[in-house]
Amino acid sequence: MSLTAEQDQLAVSLVRGMAMDGPLAANSGHQGTAMALAPLGHVLYSRVLRHDPADPAWPDRDRFILSNGHASILQYSLLFLSGYGLELDDLKQFRQWGSATPGHPEAGHTAGIEVTTGPLGQGFANAVGMAIAETNLRARFGAEAQAHHTFVIAGDGCLMEGISHEAASLAGHLGLGKLICVFDDNLITIDGPTSMSTNDDVAARFRAYDWDVVELGEMADDLDGLEAALNAAKETDKPSLLILRSHIGEPSPDHVDTNGAHGNPFSVADVTRTKAVMGIPDEPFWAPDELVAAYRALVAARGTAARDAWTSASAAVTSTPEWQAAWARTGTSGWDAELPAYALGESLATRKAIQKALDATYDQLPGLMSGSADLTGSNGTGLARTTAFTADDPTGRYLHYGIREHAMGSALVGMAQHGGTLPIGGTFFVFADYMRPPIRLAALSGAKCCFVFTHDSVGVGEDGPTHQPVEHLATLRAMPNLHVIRPADGNETIHAWADVVRHDGPSVLVLSRQNIRVTTDGSAVARGAGIVTDSDGPPRVVLVGTGSEVEVCVDAAAALNARGVAARAVSLPSWNRFAEQGPSFRDEILPPGVPVVSVEAATTFGWERYADVTIGIDRFGASAPGELVLDKLGINVDHVVQRALDILA
């Protein structure tokens, strides 16, 4: 079943018309790239992709990512044509409040969008993560359950961004043969020709990364040629880069190959003249019913047939508890039964405790895939009972990302959005700065992944201020929809890992380098805060801390109580969990009218919401043994006791 040659051309013209009409109606948007890539998009959706609009979450569908997400009107037009639920009214509301067609594609907002794209290069790196997930699941569960491809369109901006270098290098090293990228080589950026800012040999660069590179040249309008090239790329055992020379704004008689076609909506006259060239009616959002019906029937028939065949072939695998737990992003029955507990007074770094938690749950979390940016032993993210994921052994569930924090973060998001995996990745907390874009996109899209950050304070010690995070906790706490946990000790770390597995969204674990005495039973994690030690009567002062500073609060409270000053020590490992609780619980932990002293080896920014006195580090650290740095900067029992007495006075 296929469209006629006339229907093919009408479909391309329809997409090009929508590419102009949407931005014109919104007075905002990017029509030029969408116009140039209309033939490619049409070939992908109607001829190449294995996808089913009736079941957008079908596990073995091909994944498609528009990395240059500013061209979102291209994808929305194709989703409309294919029958994903978008209708003309949705396209007419392009970039408007509450519409299903926002300015850039948003996962979870519009059916058929796999990942949230817009920040250039992120979608490309997400595609690498998706290909990792598919490769691992296929190796472990069999090709009858997973055997699809990941397609991504990337533009000049995507490949200029540094993230593309990290991600492409990783993909080539891992031999991700089912990853296919089309590079839209239109030679135009917002400022003007790409020659103003780059003269990279992209083909040579990707060949050096061990990709299969095909230079398609001038065939952006050749439907059969595009189909043949995409299908040929499926047959290679390396990731593929198809370099397509397109012409931004095609077929406008006035703006082809100009930067004006990039982000400035065409005028009414521009649209009229271009539609005349295409030979379609000069009416907004032209979409003949017969064409739309034929397109949707074609896509539905192909999609239903492919999905039904997969459902039958994969039934024995997809009915297993392991498969179902992997795709539910949780554990098999009793997955948390073997989690360890630590006796009060034991001493261990929380980065060591997370290793115990991962190993205790590995067998019961079939979707778990861990990794580190060349810091496996330091981060505690290793998995004792698996091999490394490599090109030769893709069954391994541990990834050596190398010194590629940015690519690791984006790959985690792609793996999470692919499904079937519960991905985590580790590095030092100070290097969260290298990962902020994917962390933000994980939060924006609700991707269930876990960022493990160790060496969480000036307690890092001798490496000095370049490696001592100070402001990082405050910045991550400020990010909406991001679950941040800084556990006080080994028990809170174990509970924190369980909370990560149960949480439906991205999580951050902030863990210590140095040993911390166990002072809690871990229960504070579930509700964000808990009383660790208390006075015999009502407290006169509350000392609240996170991470290693909870131990300081406990000892300071003991010293105050010994002096007859009723003091309570509180652990507050998760600000967002605590904020979710009702006022009665929050008042139970931090009684109204009782002064609160916060203690945290980080900037005090934000603590004013809870504390009357804030003890922290509003400066950069210093190179010296960690305990000495903490002491010199006021993170010690004597200082906390004195500040508590001062406020009571």
Per-residue pLDDT at 563: 97
Of 517, 547, 574, the last residue of a domain is 517
Q: How far apart are CA 25 and CA 14, in angstroms?
A: 16
Counting the structural domains of the chain, the total is 3
513/539 same-domain check: no
621/491 same-domain check: no
Per-residue pLDDT at 156: 97
Give all strands (DSSP E) within 58-176, no chain letters: 63-66, 150-155
**What is the pLDDT averaged over residues 68-84?**
98
537/493 same-domain check: no
Q: How far apart are CA 40 and CA 230, in angstroms?
A: 10
How is the beta sheet containing 422-428 ordered, strand by strand?
A: 398-400, 368-372, 422-428, 450-454, 507-510, 483-485
Chain segment 521-543, per-residue pLDDT in tens: 999 999 999 999 999 999 999 99
C-alpha dihedral (243, 249, 255, 261), degrees to nearest 10: -90
Q: How far apart are CA 437 and CA 435, in angstroms?
A: 6
- N-term to C-term CA, the chain: 84
Q: How far apart are CA 77 and CA 177, in angstroms?
A: 29
Tell me, yes or no, whether 341 lies in a domain.
Answer: no
Query: Percentage of the chain surpassing pLDDT 90?
Result: 99
125/211 same-domain check: yes
Tell me, yes or no, whether 328 lies in a domain.
Answer: no
Tell me, yes or no, whether 323 lies in a domain.
Answer: no
Q: What are the distances in angstroms from CA 214 to CA 38, 57, 183, 217, 234?
A: 20, 31, 10, 9, 13
Pairing of strands 212-217, 240-244: parallel
Q: How far apart are CA 233 and CA 222, in angstroms?
A: 17
Of 260, 283, 310, the last residue of a domain is 310
Per-residue pLDDT at 257: 97
The mean predicted confidence, pLDDT, of the chain is 98
Half-sphere exposure of 85 (CA within 13 A, CB side): 13
Nearest to 380 by CA among 356, 412, 396: 356
- Please check the confidence at residue 322 and state whether its pLDDT lies above 90: yes
The CATH number linked to 212 is: 3.40.50.970
**One of 106, 166, 405, 551 is an active-site residue; which one?**
405
What SS3 state is found at 127?
Answer: helix
**What is the pLDDT averaged over residues 542-562?**
98
Tell me, yes or no, whether 417 lies in a domain.
Answer: yes
pLDDT tier at 134, thresholds 50, 70, 90 = very high
Q: How far apart are CA 247 and CA 392, in angstroms?
A: 40
Residue type, 261: A
Residue pair 295/221 in contact by the 8 Å Cβ criterion: no
Asked if omega into 251 is within 30° of 0 (cis), the reply is yes
Of 310, 330, 362, the last residue of a domain is 310
Chain segment 562-597, per-residue pLDDT in tens: 999 999 999 999 999 999 999 999 999 999 999 999
Q: Which residue has the tokens 């299908």?
A: 231
Handedness of CA 349, 351, 352, 358 (dihedral sign): positive
**What is the pLDDT averaged over residues 268-288?**
98
Q: What are the distances in angstroms from CA 423 to CA 146, 241, 443, 649?
A: 18, 26, 15, 50
Q: How far apart are CA 252 and CA 270, in angstroms?
A: 7
Chain segment 387-404, per-residue pLDDT in tens: 999 999 999 999 999 999
Task: Specify whether 215 is catalytic.
Answer: no
Per-residue pLDDT at 263: 85
Residue 447 contacts by C-beta under 8 Å, 6 or more apart in sequence? 107, 412, 413, 416, 417, 441, 505, 506
549/411 same-domain check: no
Per-residue pLDDT at 409: 98
89/162 same-domain check: yes
62/91 same-domain check: yes
**What is the pLDDT averaged over residues 42-46?**
98
| pTM exceeds cut of 0.85 | yes
What SS3 state is found at 388?
Answer: strand
Per-residue pLDDT at 353: 98
Residue pair 472/429 in contact by the 8 Å Cβ criterion: yes
509/580 same-domain check: no
Q: Which residue has the tokens 């999580």?
A: 507
Q: How far apart are CA 352 and CA 379, in angstroms?
A: 8
474/368 same-domain check: yes
Residue pair 436/134 in contact by the 8 Å Cβ criterion: no
159/288 same-domain check: yes
Per-residue pLDDT at 623: 98
Tell me, yes or no, whether 334 lies in a domain.
Answer: no
What SS3 state is found at 214?
Answer: strand
506/546 same-domain check: no
Chain segment 293-320, per-residue pLDDT in tens: 999 999 999 999 999 999 999 999 999 9
Neighbours of 57 (CB within 10 A): 9
Which range of residues forms the domain containing residue 564? Answer: 529-648
Q: How far apart are CA 640 and CA 520, in angstroms?
A: 20
Chain segment 181-225, per-residue pLDDT in tens: 999 999 999 999 999 999 999 999 999 999 999 999 999 999 999
- Please check the confidence at residue 1 and state whether its pLDDT lies above 80: no
42/138 same-domain check: yes
Q: How far apart are CA 184 and CA 212, in angstroms?
A: 16
Residue 315: both structure tokens together: 């039934």
Tell me, yes or no, whether 489 lies in a domain.
Answer: yes
- Please check the confidence at residue 89 and state whether its pLDDT lies above 80: yes
